[in-house]
Copies of this chain bind each other. A is one copy, B any other.
Amino acid sequence: MVKLRRSRVEPPPEVCPLGECMSLISGAWSPHVIWYLRDGPRRFGELRADIKGVSAKVLTARLRQLERDGVVIRREVASSPPTVEYALSELGAELRPAIAAIVDVGHRLKRRN
């Protein structure tokens, strides 16, 4: 019996920006926020309605974190009642294709049942 001590496949080059980027979209809801902001700014209540099943508390927490991380930009609108608008920053826009790729796979999963 031939010993198989080393794999034939050489280890891929060491890169770990994966963790860096994953920390931006970690959490169950962050990708949804980015996805629903992809076409332009949206208000808190709109995001709340867009993202089914999210609670106000968690949505607030995710938006705050995304704002701290420089992914989204928060803008208060002096209307009555006052509303708040969220939009993707330049960094957030760069995340869009990544989220789109994930959504794309999700669609194929659905089609396949």
Contact = CB atoms under 8 A, between A and B. Distances in A.
Interface of A: 1-4, 7, 9, 11-12, 14-22, 24-26, 28, 31-32, 35-36, 38-43, 46, 49-50, 52, 77-80, 83, 85, 91, 94-95, 97-110
User: 9 closest pairs, A vs B, by CB?
Assistant: A17-B106, A21-B106, A98-B101, A4-B79, A101-B101, A9-B40, A20-B106, A21-B105, A98-B102
Contacts of A3: 79-80
A4 B83 contact: yes
B18 A106 contact: yes
Given A26-B28, A83-B4, A101-B101, A107 B17 contact: yes
